[in-house]
Amino acid sequence: MKIYVHTVLCVGFMLCVSCSKNPFVRKVDHIPVSLTVIDFHKKIEHLSQTQSTEQTQALLQECGPFFESFNVRIMKLGLSTDSAYFPKLADVMSKSWMKELYADVEQQYPDNAHIQQELTNAFQYYMYYFPDFTPPRIASFISGLQYSIVIDEDMLAIGLDKYLGENYIGYIQAGIASFMRRGMHKERIPVDCMIALADAEFPYNFSDEFLLSYIIHHGRQMYLVRSVLPHVHDTVLWAYTEKQLDFCKKSENQFWKYLVSENTLYSSDYLTIKRFVEDGPFTHVFTKQSPGRVGQWIGYNIVASFMNKNPEISMEELFSIQDAQEIMNKARYRP
């Protein structure tokens, strides 16, 4: 189970949706995608009330392996065939905090029409770049603020309780940091889905483990996410504030100078790599005005430069490259 996204450019290679021309827009309306969203969170709630063996079998049939993944790995209830399964399920569903989450999800997501529409368009773009791709089935679930996106075989499941809004009181009461809450809203769902999909479809494939390779790996994934979600604003794509984005654009040259002058690009130190590619309130080697994941942001710009200067390279060919230095060299990246 996987738990968990060019001719006219603005500042650097970051797409600004307010530009007069969006270089990532493609004609995709002709690409057929039939998508439905399974209301798994409603079905599992109903199962907790009926405790029906027949309904259990129906959920197994409809949701495949995800049903038991939800039971065993996500909610720690055990298999649906265990004698204690129904009492455990009923107990967790009766908790006041779970009932509150269900009520708040129902208020914000009375149906899944918006999610279905956004993901249908994203998968049309995805199939534009990867024609042989088969979109996964989609389901919604509630896990008590544990998981955002789960990919299990042919199912992509969305934890709706992780998308109730940056200022949702439950997140604040749970002590979730503000930099994390910036991505916990409805508009972020397609982004997180595509990031999870990119991570599942294109795991790390470079032969070395230098920081350069990791920032290009993540940058390559984010370039794909930007390509399949061309209308998503940069603040949503990166879960940055406008001030943080502006700081990144103004400081790109300084970021790069630091990485080059300190020879940090070719470090294989785990903590160094983590410092630049993992999330956090800011990137510690820079000022507190900087956001986390600056390495990913730089990696995206390198990949965007590479694709801009090598227009004959397809998306499939981009992800087939196993040498990050090749991308770096051909990008001719000069912030």
User: What does each of the 335 residues of the chain score in pLDDT, given as a tens digit?
Assistant: 444 432 222 333 343 444 458 999 999 999 999 999 999 999 999 999 999 999 999 999 999 999 999 999 999 999 999 999 999 999 999 999 999 999 999 999 999 999 999 999 999 999 999 999 999 999 999 999 999 999 999 999 999 999 999 999 999 999 999 999 999 999 999 999 999 999 999 999 999 999 999 999 999 999 999 999 999 999 999 999 999 999 999 999 999 999 998 789 999 999 999 999 999 999 988 989 999 999 999 999 999 999 999 999 999 999 999 999 999 999 999 99
Residue 323 CA to residue 31 CA, distance in Å, equals 32
Indicate whether 92 and 211 sit together in one domain: no
Domain end residue (candidates: 201, 223, 257):
201
Nearest by Cα to 307 from 226, 206, 194, 204: 226
- Which tokens hold the place of 27? 């004609």
180 and 265 housed in the same domain:
no
**Residues written for the chain:** 335
Torsion of CA 266, 272, 273, 279, to 10 degrees: -150
The Cα–Cα gap between 118 and 96 comes to: 32
How far apart (Å, rounded) are the C-alpha atoms in residues 250 and 25?
Answer: 26
The distance of Cα 135 from the centroid of its chain, to the nearest Å, equals 16
* Domain-located, residue 26: no
- What tokens appear for 119 in the block? 């993901």
Tell me whether residue 23 is in a domain: no
3-state secondary structure the chain: CEECCCCCCCCCCCCCCCCCCCCCCCCCCCCCCCCCEECHHHHHHHHHHHCCHHHHHHHHHHHCHHHHHHHHHHCCCCCCCCCCHHHHHHHHHHCHHHHHHHHHHHHHCCCCHHHHHHHHHHHHHHHHHCCCCCCCEEEEECCCCCCCEEEECCEEEEEHHHCCCCCCHHHHHCCCCHHHHCCCCHHHHHHHHHHHHHHHHCCCCCCCCCHHHHHHHHHHHHHHHHHHCCCCCHHHHHCCCHHHHHHHHHHHHHHHHHHHHCCHHHCCCHHHHHHHHCCCCCCCCCCCCCCCCHHHHHHHHHHHHHHHHCCCCCHHHHHHCCCHHHHHHHHCCCC
Extract the tokens encoding 53.
Answer: 């063996």
Pair 323, 212: CB distance under 8 Å: no
Residues 189 and 67 in one domain: yes
Boundary-marking domain end, from 168, 201, 234: 201
Domain of residue 327: give its range.
206-331
pTM: 0.92
Q: Are residues 223 and 170 in the same domain?
A: no
Residue 119 sits in the same domain as residue 240:
no
Give the number of C-alpha atoms closer than 13 A to the C-alpha of residue 333, restricted to the C-beta side: 26
Could you tell me if 78 and 197 lie in one domain? yes
Q: What pairs with residue 158 in β-bridges?
A: 140, 149
Which residues on adjacent β-strands are paired with residue 150?
3, 157
Same domain, 211 and 177: no
How many domains is the chain built from? 2
The verdict on 165 and 292 lying in the same domain is no
Amino acid letter, residue 169: I
